[in-house]
Amino acid sequence: DQQVKQNSPSLSVQEGRISILNCDYTNSMFDYFLWYKKYPAEGPTFLISISSIKDKNEDGRFTVFLNKSAKHLSLHIVPSQPGDSAVYFCAARMYNNNDMRFGAGTRLTVKP
Amino acid sequence: DTGVSQDPRHKITKRGQNVTFRCDPISEHNRLYWYRQTLGQGPEFLTYFQNEAQLEKSRLLSDRFSAERPKGSFSTLEIQRTEQGDSAMYLCASSLVQGAGLYNEQFFGPGTRLTVL
């Protein structure tokens, strides 16, 4: 059962513009959400997270928005840079539960 | 380099053979996780250890799979009688959990890519 879904397998954006990556989840028990970035031949790297008590978390160029009623979160990257080109995974977990569920990933390409 | 390391990075084996992978977590981390990632999918949780105790196993972890963390440091994941469906990237992650351990960031290794012929 795919409890975390990333429906866009790829996204292409021009350098300097905004990248918006989307993620939907089905399990209302999830209360902590994370974004990971993965370069080829490397493991996923933690990028940013948000707990369900918030609707926005910002870290530099990266902002994650959470809409609990819609069971939807998004990652905004502004401005996008070529070095941001990678696969981005959305992940979700329940309180104090180590079974983290990942989406299938979105490949972001930022063109110079 | 103080990150999570995994060995080997690549493994090709014939169906029916046994394989063993090793993961060395970040030294002070007390939790260690194993994930499996197949092509076009995100990582899927397999199991995790708190120190040397294996506390949780996914239903994905069939009886052909066994994981150990004997001294609470490195971990091994063994697959017996490999099948072609076992071909995947096997990722290890570690984290430091203190106190209630509510939310903890997991640091991933580069993975071991297994190909079963």
Q: How many helices (H) and strands (E) does chain A have?
A: 0, 11
Q: Give the model's pLDDT for residue A1.
A: 66
Instruction: Please indicate if any CB of chain B lies within 8 Å of the CB of A91.
Output: yes
B31, A98: Cβ pair inside 8 Å? Answer: yes
Q: How many helices (H) and strands (E) does chain B have?
A: 0, 11
- Which chain B residues are closer than 8 Å to A34 by Cβ? 105
Interval B66-111: pLDDT, tens: 999 998 899 999 999 999 999 999 999 999 887 655 567 889 999 9
Instruction: Please indicate if any CB of chain B lies within 8 Å of the CB of A88.
Output: no
Residue A37 contacts by C-beta under 8 Å, 6 or more apart in sequence? A44, A45, A47, A84, A86, A87, A88, A89
Calculate how close chain A gets to B67, using CA atoms only, in Å.
Answer: 16
Interval B16-67: pLDDT, tens: 999 999 999 999 899 999 999 998 899 999 999 999 999 888 888 889 999 9
A43, B58: Cβ pair inside 8 Å? Answer: no
Three-state DSSP state, B85: helix
Instruction: Please indicate if any CB of chain B lies within 8 Å of the CB of A2.
Output: no
Instruction: Please indicate if any CB of chain A lies within 8 Å of the CB of B48.
Output: yes
